[in-house]
Structure 1
Amino acid sequence: MKNNCKFLFIIAVLFTFTMEVSKAQGQTNPNEAFKTTWKGFERINFKFEGREAHLTRPEKPLPGNPWLWRARFPDYHAEIDSVLLGKGFHIAYINTNNQFGSPKAVEVWNKFYRHLITTYHLQTKVALHSHSRGGLFAYNWAKQNPEKVACIYADAIVCDFKSWPAGFGTSEGSKKDWELLKKEYGFETDEQAKAYSDNPIDNLDKLAKAGVPILHTVSLNDHVVPPEENSLVLINNYIRLGGTATVSPCGSVVQKSNGHHYEIDNPEMVVDFIISHSTKNRPLNSSTYHQIRSGLQNSQIQFIQNKKGRVAFLGGSITHNGGWRDSITNYLENKFPETEFEFIAAGIPSMGTTPGAFRLVRDVLSKGKIDLLFEEAAVNDGSNKRTSTEQIRGMEGIVRHMRKFNPSVDIVMMHFVDPGKIETYRSGKIPEVIKNHNQVAEHYAIPTINLAKEVTERIDHGEFTWKDDFKNLHPSPFGQGVYAHSMIQFLDNAYAAHIENDGKITAHALPNPIDAFNYENGVLMDITTIKLRKGWEIDPAWNPNDGKKFRPNYVDVPMLISNVPGSRLKVTFEGNAVGIAVAAGQDAGIIEYRIDKGEWQKLNLFTKWSTSFHLPWYYTLASGLVNEKHRLELKIAHEKDEQSNGHACRIRYVYLNK
């Protein structure tokens, strides 16, 4: 894909998602924001990072909420703003006066950008408009954030502070502003300032590579900011790098301030430039990857009418880690401001649907009636090599158990992305684990969000890259933002319906199961109830104390342990499935087991992660049994994995499907 056609889709970190007046860091109390009108349009005025800021809103926003960001002198050539507002653009401004586009000013701009696109849902690519010294702000920010820039329009801008305010060229400069600039940048001498090599005219390669188009208007009679030392230098440098650049000399006879202020000959050209580059090649619509099915009406009624909500997040490390989950909790709190929420974070790294089905009671249902569940397992079910049968039994078990406990619970199923899924989609196929989970979702009319397909197609659409932006199946902050953006759009659509005052919460249908042996009655057995035999013991607060990593709930807890080859254990249970949840570290051994005096089978507990991790792992030893009493026999084998330094078997739980 050609660089100048590449459309990068950047979602800033959405971890602090709020509604119109945010609690974001640096902003004052929401009550201090106030609205005014500007040329007939609504303007929201507020403080951000202690600075005056405002956002002017169109009467009818264009799809995607494109916007223009004014850099310094926000009322100069304001006719462009008013035309754009009438055509559906938002106009934003923050006062960073006397900072001359310094690194500190750019950091404020970074925060302001994040605030605007999360709070007001503005398009992730912004058009920049700068005048005079505003060029220092616009270009210094754009060079750091090329993927966030739709286009740059500039008139009579400073592109090199050695020209103005320093006055080292033909410009008289400004001694007062020069001293302020040196102090802001931390220059102690003029020589240090002259050596600085990151003015707007410098380091434009990333901006050019991103294909950001630029348009400058200049006055050839400008003696304050001479174009020969500023715009014309920048334009030529940009073109040499392959960038798309246009410069339009002003022919107007109306020129003031030594040629620095002038009327634009053709403001319509500027407006068309901004609109064209802000509205083409829009990012793909996340709704394409959503299936709302039976929707979320029950939780919507619960949150609005009963003003209480219990929301659970069940999954693996992508759910355990901070990121999209924080954005969703903030979204719900702001969407339903009168609702008292309880959020249950039940994500545990390495866990898929099989562990989820058996730990569901302990980690979720024990908290009380759940109104809304977010469930993800596509990454771990695939990477942990669970069979299709296990994937369906696990996911269906979670759904059925949830709805037997609370028939009205709303469930959202997410399919997260990893490199394997990307390659499968690119080959024209659907990843097996997603097909299996979707089979359950369709059978029970559960909404799904297919982020694996969405991320794949956004990458192929040229909006971002896996290597530089998403980075890992544990998403970067950017990737977490992609997830949150899609989920919030899903929730916006799912909660868009009007709820009548007498709306009733209704039970979801519970059809016959897809697999009669699904894990809908999964429980964890208390290991302290197991009768110990020689060679086995219970450590009431096991801790490896070897410097290796471990997971929550797998350290300083009771653990049933043996590392003696030949030692046996017998467990009597009732149900149609049985397994063990173990901590498999560097000394993990091999076990042999059988059910009801059947054939002995071997199981190597040592995993590819065991050398550095006491990995929690769920091993299903038998399923599809007749639902009656059974006996599990287990013994420590004399042989061991060649990489292991022991024979240990550490059992955190025996799990059963009763």
Structure 2
Amino acid sequence: MKDKKLFIVIFVAFFTFSWGFAQNNNDETVKTNWKGFERLHFKIEGKAAFLTRPEKPLPGNPWLWRGRFPDYHAEIDSMLLAKGFHVAYINTDNQFGSPKAVAVWSEFYTHLTSTYKLQAKVALHGHSRGGLFIYNWAKENAEKVACIYADAVVCDFKSWPAGFGNSKGGKKEWEVLKAEYGFKNDAEAKAYKNNPIDNLEALAKAKVPILHTVGLHDEVVPPDENSLLLVNNYIRLGGTATVSPCRSGIQKSKGHHYDIDDPEMVVDFILKHSTKNGPLNASNYHNIRSGLQNSYIQFQRNKKGRVAFLGGSITHNGGWRDSICNYLKNKFPETEFEFIAAGIPSMGTTPGAFRLERDVLSKGKIDLLFEEAAVNDATNGNTATEQIRGMEGIVRHMRKSNPEVDIVMMHFVDPDKMETYRSGKEPEVISNHNRVAEHYGIPTINLALEVTERIDKGEFTWQNDFKNLHPSPFGQGIYAHSMIQFLEDAFSGPIDDDDKIAARNLPKPLDAFNYENGVLLDILTLKLRKGWKVDPVWNPKDGKGTRHNYIDVPMLISETLGSLLKIPFEGNTVGIAVAAGQDAGSIEYRIDKGPWQKRNLFLKWSKSLHLPWYFTLASGLENKKHVLELKIANEKDNQSNGHACRIRYVYVNK
């Protein structure tokens, strides 16, 4: 009986919690009609919200986000809806753009971009105190903002509602604001340094255009203390800003409410910066940074060029790489080129860093390197730390080998990256690679974002045109077109007589344990123990697939349970490059007689392929002599049919 009562109590508690959770998140959506357009009403974080949808959305689903007073100057909403925009609003009215309100806005943004697939970049529209909302959210999310339209907005709460300047302010609103922000007194509020007028650097860097309309005789929110002050601050940072005084029509509420002189101008501003007319410009997805001046001079003046392509299967396969080679030969017809194709399927930045010496630098001085790994670094499950250490290792190793080398980093597309961009976020692997690119001034070509936005704009489709992360010929053409546009921009302009090829200094590394000294050790130099042997020309007998450089080559092999191998090395990182087929087993390993650890060598692709795979066993070690011990473990993956460990290389970072 007691157990039955306990069950009933638990059930009722769970039901009550679940019902309350559902009510709080309001999974029920109510439809209404607003001026002939469908409006969806729902709640996010307990806040009432709505999304008004156009009859025929523009490609990519661009949208306008109203910050406070959603029915004021609604003619702009009507005009945009008629042109195919969505219009959204969430009620955080008495929170005055506080950090708590900004957090709710971020939840709302994620909901709209994921559930309704709205465009990643949003146009913001704020009126009066709505300026606190739109700017405080925009400053934290600059990369998500297409443009900002601000109408008689509060840009500094010390002006309104505090009333510390020419505005009389609002006493009631001021007390509410202080409580919302957690200010204990006026002095603490005055010392606050994150009003809309402050910290505009991120918006300026993202080149977010802004348009303010003001009433020159506004006594409630005086332009001199708000819009004009913000615009001047923004222009000083290099931002693009326009101010339009509204002087015609009726002026009400001490000049704070007025008719917009030219609402079409506002609509055109939002349309221009939220959508593109005609095909998208590939240059929008390029960041030239320090450029390609050295290779430009080398190719144009010295008439010799060695160009390398390092990456995975998208670099290994024919297509865009062939187009780039042809472009360079046609661009510099008198130049003698050598092209090094160093793409190997499934390889990300860690393999790239350790095989760089063998596959690229051994060929001679490199003038220009194209590097890609965003697909494999993510697909292979590399951690953020590994992604940075690998990419930074490639860059630093290249620059140490030749301080004059130019490097181009490409971010290729896959379905996961497309979905991440559509949810309003940047894929983590691209963010990590961009950190390295920014630190070293490396140019980048973001093909993942470009393909996503071209598809969303309706230029082509993934299913019928691009087809796969290994692009169709059509997709290869998209890649090639963008990269050639990048090269055209980078190689534009004359080379003056006093222009010289310049060495680039290496800054302090982002990660002290990056793989800048990565090398592959020859397994033939290792001392073998019982149970281990070297097959000088290994070739699988099971009919499963193989990869280049992992067949008819020396392979260090053991299938004997408990067989031990000792590998002395010097450096801060050690790993093994194996052929992981359907009989791949598990190993136990330790460094310098430390605790034994386990590693399963069987991968999700192993059933059909003896896949080359780099397993980093230890990193972040003290840079000195160490001993790696590994042995064949008794247990194995349930899907594996053997205990094999086949080592093509041992790799270390010296």
Q: TM-score, normalised by structure 1?
A: 0.58
Q: Following superposition of structure 1 onto structure 2, how do residues 523-538 of structure 1 map, counting pairs within 5 Å?
A: 523-538=519-534
Q: Does 1:565 align with 2:568?
A: no
Deviations 1:535-587 (A, max 9, x none): 00000000003211111000000000000111000000000000000000010
Alignment-derived partner of residue 540 in structure 2:
544
Q: Following superposition of structure 1 onto structure 2, how do residues 458-497 of structure 1 map, counting pairs within 5 Å?
A: 458-497=454-493
Q: How far, CA to CA, are the matches of 2:382 and 2:316 in structure 1?
A: 20
Q: Does 1:597 align with 2:585?
A: no
In the TM superposition, residue 7 of structure 1 has moved relative to its aligned partner by 8.4
Verify the 8 A CA contact 1:7 1:464 in the aligned structure 2. no
Alignment-derived partner of residue 421 in structure 1:
417
* SS of residue paired to 2:621: strand
- Quick one: which of 341, 349, 371 aligns to 1:345? 341
Alignment-derived partner of residue 287 in structure 2:
291
Deviations 1:210-256 (A, max 9, x none): xxxxxxxxxxxxxxxxxxxxxxxxxxxxxxxxxxxxxxxxxxxxxxx
* SS of residue paired to 2:329: helix
Alignment-derived partner of residue 378 in structure 1:
374
What is the identity percentage for the equivalent residue pairs of Structure 1 and Structure 2?
79
Q: Does 1:506 align with 2:502?
A: yes
Deviations 1:137-169 (A, max 9, x none): xxxxxxxxxxxxxxxxxxxxxxxxxxxxxxxxx
Distance 1:286 1:631, change over 3 A: same
Verify the 8 A CA contact 1:379 1:416 in the aligned structure 2. yes
Alignment-derived partner of residue 650 in structure 1:
646
Verify the 8 A CA contact 2:393 2:514 in the aligned structure 1. yes
- Quick one: which of 344, 359, 368 aligns to 1:363? 359
Partner amino acid, structure 2, of 1:369: K
* SS of residue paired to 1:593: strand
Deviations 1:99-138 (A, max 9, x none): xxxxxxxxxxxxxxxxxxxxxxxxxxxxxxxxxxxxxxxx
- Quick one: which of 515, 519, 528 aligns to 2:515? 519
- Quick one: which of 552, 573, 578 aligns to 1:577? 573
Verify the 8 A CA contact 2:309 2:341 in the aligned structure 1. yes
- Quick one: which of 392, 398, 401 aligns to 1:405? 401
Verify the 8 A CA contact 1:589 1:647 in the aligned structure 2. yes
Q: Does 1:432 align with 2:428?
A: yes
Q: Following superposition of structure 1 onto structure 2, how do residues 34-433 of structure 1 map, counting pairs within 5 Å?
A: 281-433=277-429
Compare relative contact order (CA 8 Å, sep 6+) and give the higher one, 1 or 2.
1
In the TM superposition, residue 497 of structure 1 has moved relative to its aligned partner by 2.2
In the TM superposition, residue 510 of structure 1 has moved relative to its aligned partner by 0.9
Partner amino acid, structure 2, of 1:543: N
Alignment-derived partner of residue 607 in structure 1:
603
Partner amino acid, structure 1, of 2:599: L
Deviations 1:352-390 (A, max 9, x none): 000000000000000000000000000000000000000
Partner amino acid, structure 2, of 1:546: D
Partner amino acid, structure 2, of 1:392: I
* SS of residue paired to 1:651: strand
Q: How far, CA to CA, are the matches of 1:355 and 1:3 in structure 2?
A: 51
Q: How far, CA to CA, are the matches of 2:499 and 2:55 in structure 1?
A: 52
Partner amino acid, structure 2, of 1:551: R
Structure 2: which 5+ residue stretches go unaligned? 1-52, 61-275
Distance 1:506 1:401, change over 3 A: same
Dislocated runs of 4+, deviation >4 Å: 1-8
Partner amino acid, structure 1, of 2:437: A
Q: TM-score, normalised by structure 2?
A: 0.58
Q: How far, CA to CA, are the matches of 2:636 and 2:282 in structure 1?
A: 49
In the TM superposition, residue 405 of structure 1 has moved relative to its aligned partner by 0.2
In the TM superposition, residue 6 of structure 1 has moved relative to its aligned partner by 8.9
Verify the 8 A CA contact 2:572 2:620 in the aligned structure 1. yes
Verify the 8 A CA contact 1:6 1:463 in the aligned structure 2. no
Deviations 1:306-356 (A, max 9, x none): 100000000000000000000000000000000000000000000000000
In the TM superposition, residue 468 of structure 1 has moved relative to its aligned partner by 1.0
Q: How far, CA to CA, are the matches of 2:598 and 2:56 in structure 1?
A: 58
Alignment-derived partner of residue 83 in structure 2:
none
Alignment-derived partner of residue 630 in structure 1:
626
* SS of residue paired to 1:624: coil
Partner amino acid, structure 2, of 1:479: G
Verify the 8 A CA contact 2:305 2:367 in the aligned structure 1. yes
Verify the 8 A CA contact 2:306 2:365 in the aligned structure 1. yes
Verify the 8 A CA contact 1:303 1:309 in the aligned structure 2. yes
Verify the 8 A CA contact 1:566 1:638 in the aligned structure 2. yes
* SS of residue paired to 2:620: strand
Alignment RMSD:
1.7
Verify the 8 A CA contact 2:59 2:456 in the aligned structure 1. no
- Work out the number of aligned pairs and report it: 387
Q: How far, CA to CA, are the matches of 2:652 and 2:628 in structure 1?
A: 11
* SS of residue paired to 1:625: coil
Structure 1: which 5+ residue stretches go unaligned? 9-279
In the TM superposition, residue 502 of structure 1 has moved relative to its aligned partner by 3.7
Distance 1:283 1:7, change over 3 A: farther
